[in-house]
Chains A and B, each alone.
Chain A
Amino acid sequence: MADLHFGDDKPSDIEREAVDSVVIDTLGPAVVHEHERLVRGGTERRNERRHLLLPVLHALQRAAGWISPGGLNYASEQLQVPPAEAYGVATFYEMFRSTDPGHSDDVVHVCVDAACQIADSQAVIDQLEAEGRHVHRSPCLGQCERPTALFIQGRGRPDRVEADSNLEQFTAVPQASASGGDGTMAKGEPLRLLKRVGVVDPSSIESYIAAGGYQSLAAAIARGPEGVVSEVSDSGLMGRGGAAFPTGFKWKAVAEAAGDIKHVVVNADESEPGTFKDRVLIENDPFSVIEAATIAGYATGATKGWIYIRGEYPLATERLRTAIEQARSAGYLGDDVASSGFSFDMEVRRGAGAYICGEETALFNSLEGFRGEPRQKPPFPTTNGLFDQPTAINNPETLVNVLDIVVDGGAAYKAIGTEGSAGTKLFCVSGHLAKPGVYELAFGATLGELIDMAGGPIGELRAIMLGGAAGSFVGADQLDMPLSFEGAREAGVSLGSGVVMAFNDTVDFGAVFTRLAEFFRNESCGQCVPCRIGTVRQHEVLLNSGGNPVNGQSELLADIDLAMKDASICGLGHTAATAVRSGIALGLIGAQS
């Protein structure tokens, strides 16, 4: 054995089986040569084995209910990862325990973030605990249209979301809410991104193809890689994950980057509180995401596709895996995609509960088996992404837009929406509204129109959260705001991932903002000082003031905000105080009495 040191703790039989099921069954046991020096757990090992660390930890957690010293030791040995680093990874994620839970039951994760908080998720927690269930207070679970959100982490059996079992109701929600029942958006335009939701059978490629599926891939292949990049550039498509970066620009950079191996990563780590659009899209139309990712691979010259999906989305994960298998069997993935000679295959990886892993470089680290800490940029993912190789990383919704672009052309796509915001956008509508759900609108519709589509407010509308916890609050007087990147910018807010959460005048905003601050405190990765300590100090100001910062406390929050905005490494710190400060500006909290 080379130079890694392992302790004496041995795995139990079930732990050994759990690790073997992920590692040995696919790669065989680790063989370490005498002369081998292991740099960072072995540079080659890193590409070959280390990226299996997260799947292995999931397997251990499910089998044993925690990551035990024996289990970690065995996993570290098989993956050739230093145990201290594996422990650092295991303790990074919400879904892994590093202490013995002392029971062998499932654990119920109950959402305590805004949409569920105002629906009194605390009462659900109290009830579950009274029933003797093991409850974990969870950050947003991405089921904001059906509060209180629950996710059950299985012990010895798969994780599940009980609401998923009522599929009829489930698939009906987005279609009905998006369209008012007739498949159209506001202003009578047809649905584009949601057109197959509730229409196709998400577990059947035949159903997808019958509904027009894989015509876009054929159109892409007819255009050639450069043609696809050029149409996507002309379309004006911008990223839908929150940063609104031009997709064509990104793809062009990856296509032109030097490197034999390139990647497409689908960032489905949808964790922004209030966001659930990608879940609805993937659960109901998984093939569209796979087809679009394949087109991204074709356009950029990537041969390897990854979908990193948040760990709390078991149904979406299962449907993606099934869809990938079917696509492979049908020749739409593999060595010769659609008989075009292009080679591209995909793999699904589950996150394990870490908001920060939605940040693209943190996601790469997480996928590679490291702590999900953001990297410094530059260099950017287009040249130094996953495994330090050129990578196109896109949000699922962004990708699905490409399906129409390659068929109709960039110019036709650009004609939809507004001057500065091309296309349609999915909005995650929740909170005090009659019909919460995912709504698709062409950019430029107003906030008021969207709220009307969602059946209008329940009670007296007081404020609306736009863009999620990293976004900001606006008042009920902002209903004329056009929902477009430029319209939001003009109003000094951001559309972010498309969150529109309504709050009526019965809401205890002090509690809402205190929890928002707690969310960032809990989700900061801890790498940089401004965010690691700034988020704590912000939360303390809200705690100490009972959610009502007055006098000097608002100035203190402004100081903290500026330092986090200016000096944090990544977007988490940059936006961690935005919502709280907007709440103060609106007088939702901090009003002098």
Chain B
Amino acid sequence: MTATEPVSQPAEVETSVTLNINGTAVEVPEGASVLDACTAAGIDTPTLCYAENLTPVNACRVCVVEQEGSRTLIPSCSRQASEGMNIQTDSERVRHSRKMVLEFLGSGVDLSQAPELEQWSEVYGADPGRYGESAAKIEEEVRIQDELYIRDYDKCVLCYKCVEACGDDAQHTFAIAVAGRGFDARIRTEFDTELPDSACVYCGNCVAVCPTNALQFKTEFDLRSADKWQPEEQSVTQTVCSYCGVGCNLELHVQDETIVKVTSPNDHSVTSGHLCIKGRFGWSYVHGQ
């Protein structure tokens, strides 16, 4: 989403607000977030729990900015831009908190398959190593319970995206939720019931929104395990799902003339990036299987 195209704004008479970001006036439509305004001003902001097709939960706090007059920093993803706000995106306080959030995550979670986070960690000088070897880490077995997707919670940053996508932001299945508390909080089905016995309908929308590969399509997981995952070699073909008349756009990710995963564009008017089990996983017939 860009600042000029707010998701929930009807294209009628648009009122706008003007705020200051790093001393420069920025005009955005009413209802836009501070993050939208930063984007409109050409400022790149790290985000993790934010996604354009989900309700902001403002849990990761990596997108925080400094607002004049506010005691604490504010989450740019979920704070509505208002007239006359004075925002700093690169002050010492902002840089410190972003660095610490990235450092905390790096010290406790496996970010090896989240290249964007690793890049931001470098930008802000995060040093996860300074907490020492004894720093508590998320340690979980990889859960492989079917042929469609796997769950590797060592990589989970608890951004809530999968919960939102499974729940009332997309699928309304409510198969997973956050269980436990604090550092022991984990994404779980009830009593950690295996997926096939849970409410899961295998739409794969949770996988599509996962920012760290904690949720992976089984195809990708198998290729990675065999050291054969080569995203730079993959082509993406757009098509329309052939199963029903809804008209979901599909993006077929193809490696070595084999489909390795299926996504849908977040800005597609029908799907907003979300699919059902057929569009997401029902492609093996293409390969005559």
Nearest chain-B residue to A524 (Cβ)? B182
Interface centre among B62, B134, B191, B193 (most CB of A within 10 A): B191
Closest residue of chain A to B75 (Cβ to Cβ) is A376
Within 8 A of A (CB), among B17-36: none
Whether a CB of chain A sits under 8 angstroms from the CB of B60 is yes
What distance in Å separates the Cβ of A40 from its nearest Cβ neighbour in chain B?
5
Among the 9-residue stretches A21-29, A122-130, A525-533, the one with 4 or more Cβ atoms under 8 Å from chain B is A525-533
Known A38-B172, A39-B168, A84-B189: A532·B182 in contact at CB below 8 Å: yes
Q: Using a CB-CB cutoff of 8 Å, which residues 324-365 of chain A contact chain B?
A: 354
Within 8 A of A (CB), among B127-157: 130-132, 134-136, 157
Give the one of A38, A85, A86, A567 with max B CB within 10 A: A567
Q: Which single member of B167, B183, B188 contacts A533 (CB below 8 Å)?
A: B183
A526 CA to B187 CA, complexed, in Å = 12
Other-chain contact of A536, B100, B136, B181, B190 (Cβ < 8 Å): B136
A88–B174 touching, CB < 8 Å: no
- Kindly provide the distance from the CB of A79 to the nearest chain B CB, expressed in whole angstroms: 13
Give the size of the chain B interface in residues (CB under 8 angstroms).
51
The digit string for B175-201, where 1 denotes a CB below 8 A from any CB of A, is 111111111110011110100011100
Asked if B131 and A567 make an inter-chain contact with CB atoms under 8 angstroms apart, the answer reads no
CA A559 to CA B202, docked complex, whole Å: 42
Q: Are B104 and A569 in contact (CB under 8 A)?
A: no
Q: Is A41 an interface residue (CB 8 A)?
A: yes
User: Within residues 72 to 101 of chain A, which ones have a CB less than 8 A from any CB in chain B?
Assistant: 72, 76, 82-88, 91-92, 98
Kindly supply a per-residue 1/0 record for chain B positions 52-73, scoring 1 wherever the CB is within 8 Å of any chain A CB and 0 otherwise.
0000001111101000000011
Mask, A278-300, CB within 8 Å of B = 1, is 00000000000000000000000
In the bound complex, residues from chain B placing their C-beta under 8 Å from that of A38 are 172
Residues of A within 8 A of B188 (CB): 84, 87-88, 91
Nearest chain-B residue to A76 (Cβ)? Answer: B190
Would you call A318 an interface residue if the criterion is a C-beta within 8 Å of the partner chain's C-beta atoms? Answer: no
**Cα separation A535 to B175 with both chains bound (whole Å):** 29
Interface of B is mostly: loop
Would you call B100 and A567 a contact (CB within 8 A)?
Answer: yes
Taken together as a complex, chains A and B put the C-alpha atoms of A92 and B73 apart, in Å, by 27
Q: A91-B179, A532-B182 are in contact. Are A84 and B135 (CB under 8 A)?
A: no
A3-11, A107-115, A215-223, A380-388: which lies at the B interface? A3-11
**Contact between chains at B131 and A84 (CB < 8 Å):** no
Residues of A within 8 A of B107 (CB): 533, 537
Task: Verify B183–A532 contact, CB threshold 8 A.
Answer: yes
Point out the residues of chain B lying under 8 angstroms from A69, CB to CB. 190-191
Contacts of A82 in B (CB 8 A): 174-175, 177, 199
B223–chain A nearest beta-carbon distance, Å: 30
Interface string of A25-46 (1 = CB under 8 A from B): 0000000000001111100000
Interchain CB contact under 8 A, A525 and B181: yes
Q: Evaluate contact between B64 and A566: CB separation under 8 angstroms.
A: yes
Q: Pick the contact of A526 from B73, B101, B182, B199 — CB < 8 Å?
A: B182
Compute how far the CA of A566 lies from the CA of B74 in the bound complex, rounded to whole angstroms: 8
Number of interface residues of A (CB under 8 A): 54
Partner of A529, one of B59, B72, B135: B59
Q: Is there contact, CB below 8 Å, between A84 and B97?
A: no
Grouping DSSP codes into helix (H, G, I), strand (E, B) and loop, the A interface class, with mixed when no group exceeds half, is: helix
B174 near A530 with CB under 8 A, answer no
Q: Closest CB of chain B to A519's CB: distance in Å?
A: 11
Residue of B nearest to A68 (CB): B191
- Check if A269 is an interface residue, CB within 8 A of chain B: no
Rounded to whole angstroms, the CA-CA distance of A3 and B168 in the bound complex is 13
Q: Judge whether B198 and A540 touch: CB under 8 Å.
A: no
Given contacts A39-B172, A69-B191, A560-B100, contact A540 B105 (CB under 8 A): no
A466 to chain B, nearest CB (A): 20
B101 x A529 contact (CB < 8 A): yes
CB-CB nearest in chain B for A574: B72
B185 and A556 form a contact (CB under 8 A): no
Q: Which A-chain residue is minimally distant from B131 (CB atoms)? A: A537
Selected from A92, A521, A530, A562, the residue in CB contact (under 8 A) with B183 is: A521
Whole-angstrom distance between the Cβ of A561 and the nearest chain B Cβ: 10
CB of B93 within 8 A of chain A?
yes
A389 at interface by CB-CB < 8 Å:
no
Verify if B278 is at the interface (C-beta below 8 Å from A).
no
A5 near B177: Cβ-Cβ < 8 Å = no
Tell me the residues in window 193-252 of chain B with beta carbons closer than 8 Å to chain A beta carbons.
193, 197-199
**Cross-chain contact A526 with B185 (CB below 8 angstroms):** yes
Is A104 an interface residue when CB atoms closer than 8 A count as contact? no
Q: Kindly report which residue of chain A lies nearest to residue B102, judged by CB atoms.
A: A529
Which residue in A39, A540, A567 is a CB contact (below 8 Å) of B135?
A540
B131 touches A566 (CB 8 A): no
Q: Digitize B87-106: 1 where CB-to-A-CB distance is under 8 Å, 0 elsewhere.
A: 00000010011001100110
Pairwise interchain contact A84-B134, C-beta atoms closer than 8 A: no
Are A84 and B172 interface neighbours, CB within 8 A? Answer: no
| Interchain nearest-CB distance for A465 vs B (Å) | 23
Q: Which single residue of chain A is at the shortest CB-CB distance from B106?
A: A533
A3 touches B172 (CB 8 A): yes
In the complex, which residues of chain B have a beta carbon less than 8 angstroms from the beta carbon of A5?
173, 175, 198-199
Contact B190 A84, beta carbon cutoff 8 Å: yes
Query: When the two chains form their complex, are residues A7 and B104 in contact, meaning their CB atoms are under 8 A apart?
Result: no
Q: Inside 8 A of A85's CB, which chain B residues have their CB?
A: 174, 177
Q: Is A47 an interface residue (CB 8 A)?
A: no
What's the Cα separation between A69 and B78 when bound, in Å? 36
Measured CA separation A4–B157 after assembly (Å): 27
Given the known A-B contacts A84-B175, A524-B183, A544-B134, are A72 and B167 also in contact in the complex, defined by CB atoms under 8 Å? no
Distance, CA A88 to CA B100, complexed state (A):
28
Q: Give B65 Cβ to nearest chain A Cβ, in Å.
A: 10
Give CA–CA (A91, B178) in the complex, Å: 9
Known: A88-B179, A530-B100. A566 touches B93 (CB 8 A): yes
B199 surroundings in chain A (CB, below 8 A): 4-5, 82-84
Given A529-B62, A536-B136, A540-B131, A4-B174 contact (CB < 8 Å) = yes
B273 within 8 Å of A by Cβ? no
Is A523 an interface residue, CB under 8 A from the partner? yes
Complex: chain B residue closest to A376, CB-CB: B58
Q: For residue B177, which residues in chain A have a CB less than 8 angstroms away from its CB? A: 82, 84-85, 87-88, 371
Residues of chain A within 8 A (CB-CB) of B179 are 84, 87-88, 91-92
Contact of A527 among B59, B100, B130, B198 (CB under 8 A): B59
Chain A residues proximal to chain B, CB less than 8 Å = 3-5, 7, 37-41, 69, 72, 76, 82-88, 91-92, 98, 354, 371, 376, 521-530, 532-537, 540, 544, 556, 559-560, 562-563, 565-569, 574
For this complex, 9 residue pairs linking A to B, each with C-beta atoms less than 8 Å apart, are: A69-B191, A87-B189, A88-B177, A376-B58, A522-B182, A529-B59, A536-B136, A544-B134, A574-B72
Other contacts beyond A7-B193, A533-B104: 11, CB < 8 A: A5-B173, A72-B190, A84-B177, A84-B190, A526-B184, A532-B104, A534-B100, A536-B135, A544-B132, A567-B97, A567-B101
The 8 A-B pairs with the shortest beta carbon distances in the complex, nearest first, are A82-B174, A563-B100, A5-B199, A526-B185, A88-B177, A533-B104, A87-B190, A567-B97
